[in-house]
Structure 1
Amino acid sequence: MTIAEHRSDAGSASADIRPFHYTATDDELDDLRRRIRATRWPERETVDDSSQGVQLEVVRALADYWADQHDWRAVESRLADIPQFVTEIDGLDIHFLHIRSRHDDALPMIVTHGWPGSVIEQLKIVGPLTDPTAHGADAADAFHLVIPSLPGHGFSGKPETTGWDPIRIARAWAELMRRLGYDRYVAQGGDWGNAVTEQLALLAPPGLVGIHTNMPATIPPAIQEALDAHEPPPADLDAEERGAWDQLAFFYAHGLAYAQEMGNRPQTLYGIADSPVGLAAWMLDHDARSYDLIARVFAGGTEGLTRDDILDNVTLYWLTNTAVSSARLYWESKLAFFAPKGVTLPTGVSVFPDEIYAAPRSWATAAYPNLIHFNRLDRGGHFAAWEQPELFSQEVRATFRSLR
């Protein structure tokens, strides 16, 4: 049954919450494998590193595994074991996972993914956070989880008009939590998930008592101005701040191409809607450290993510045809992505070393005046919940323990 067919069977009342299930057709999966095998390959890059982009050797290994060994049905089975729903908010179908803990006094939390992520990014934290006693933690740290798909991503609807920026998404999330009957809850996010979560905090809907982020927006105005002007770093930066400066300077110089294209011309990306290998390469070219990890994985390494993890997520984008619709979020948002937004709600910040930049404590303290948790981890990167679910779960528990 396709997504469209499922939705046509649903009730018409806009506030209805309808059960959701997705099964790709055999024809869709056969077509995917055919397209992978029919890829017209370019020549190898003329350098011995990734400075020209995603390397041919990495994508050839990915394509071989995708066509011959990846099992999408296993992903469907995992998703089928999790309660999924769709509800219409502000004229758009919003898909979400909703997993209630067996512990009645669990704290509700809405968790938002980013790009190029999806709800698949959060599957590994469902068990540790909803059933902590089965994972060596205390029942008092249990959560009820709501994990929505961003508009234009995954199984959520694709906006047909403009305006679905992080601010509007945050309003939809507040309505979703109200509709689910949660009158006291917290929120978590990284990447676009952080942008939405911070806007939710600024909206301050009744019941939201705190947030946690693994990709905080903390860059001081003077630092941002110096980066934009390609000036040298200020002389008074401490070691943490200088490390963050170096990461940001590298990202702005070498890592922004994908965001600039999606922010300016998302509709031009027809190629990644037509070629699965093109889509995979585009999604891999997100940040240097994530790419390095993925390249090692497809070379046979075992760390953080697996080949199946990576292809589960890319296949979801392919089957839902959301390459372009997800890209439009970059066009829609007019927020300064890394600038402090004035969040005053209690906030927890977890700094993973291989994130785009590791926020210094000094910047986080200034950005979040009600900082209730700050910790620098020794491993993990941009996809923290996906790469390091145990550490991520510990960080979320620690952040919200004082708000229960």
Structure 2
Amino acid sequence: MSPPADARTATARRIAGLALPALVVLAAEPLYVLVDTAVVGHLGPVPLAAVAIGGTVMSVGVWFGTLMAYGTTGRAARHYGAGDRAAAVAEGVQASWLALGLGTLLALLGMIAAGPLAGVLAGDPETAEAAAGWLRIAVLGAPGLLLAAAGNGWMRGVQDTRRPLWIVLGANVLSAVLCPILVYPAGLGLTGSAIANVTAQTLGGLLFLVMLVRETRELRPIPSIIVRQVVLGRDLLIRGAAFQACFLSATAVAARFGIAAVGAHQIVLQLWFFAALALDAVAIAAQSLVGAALGAGDTEEARDVARRVTRAGGVAAVAFALAAAAGSSVVPTWFTPDPAVHAQAAVIWPWFVALLPVAGVVYALDGVLIGAGDVAYLRTLTVLSALLCFLPAIWLAYAFDLGLGGVWAGLALFTLARFAGLTWRWRSPKWLIVGATR
């Protein structure tokens, strides 16, 4: 039996009903990191630097979690659209086994490599020692972190974004309360911050497991499904690595234009990431709705979902662009009083504003193709856009001393190349493969 028709119909209310809870879930972890940073920051510069270094290492786990959630959503949504909720939940079971195995491996590697990693990343032995101590505890949360990601994935696939919202909020609020208590009254200092992190991540993972057990008693691992999920995750991983290479290279080139330039670049890039976070919520709605439509064998509905979700992403991005344009002279002052940084930010602000509407469409179409399981195409498009457009442009900017404008011209080329490739794919029938699996 197929799910209700409104489970596949991309009305504005339906898109908002999926996107808004997803947005809160996406924002919960960064907001908690800000709270954690503020609490630890009052211990002094060494603990603050230690958390910054340890958090950078832990972001690898967050990255793996995002890939796992996205891959699971599309596969579960296809089964759900085909009327087979049990098979959709089964995707969550196999994703949870994968999460548990990968999370345990990351925890073991993190404990073994904490000292060497902190030594490489830290600027002095005292900071390295503090970061390694924090990291040895914090990595114990990796299994819970990835279990929560797998849980988010299958629950989004069956279009349940409300229970994940309460699980993630509850775990992070508990940790936000626990962190200052453990750090100060309990006298644990930096160790208290790590324990609070592990508590939130482990609790979140366990709660998602409880939801899974309530849905099914078929909890045995099925290697064939896990292998297919790994292949899908591999393509998403390569795609993500291309993004990381681009942004790291951009920062490296910006740093060669001076302190003010790299400061301005960091401010605008973080604002870009913030906008991407919000626009990713629309992409998550696209994954769920497109997967359900194709699972039900309804290509016309899938096309309609793609049109509506893309329009929603574009409208949201235009709103961000208008707000950014209005705040061009004010927003940089929130981050620094340095007039040299403000002057550099003014150079790249027009690029930032102009690219946002294009990015809104790009992120929405990313969600459409992930929901359709067309991840191999996304992988290839992203890698080619990085190699042929972004990286040559920014290194030419360095060679010819074009400044931050040249760096952001490279970002523009990268975004426009992805826009062209995604719209071409969207207009073709190649992504419209129906059925419960792809």
TM bucket, shorter chain = under 0.3
Larger strand share, 1 or 2: 1
Larger RCO: 1 or 2 (CA < 8 Å, sep 6+): 2
Structure of larger gyration radius: 2
TM-score, length-normalised on structure 1?
Answer: 0.26
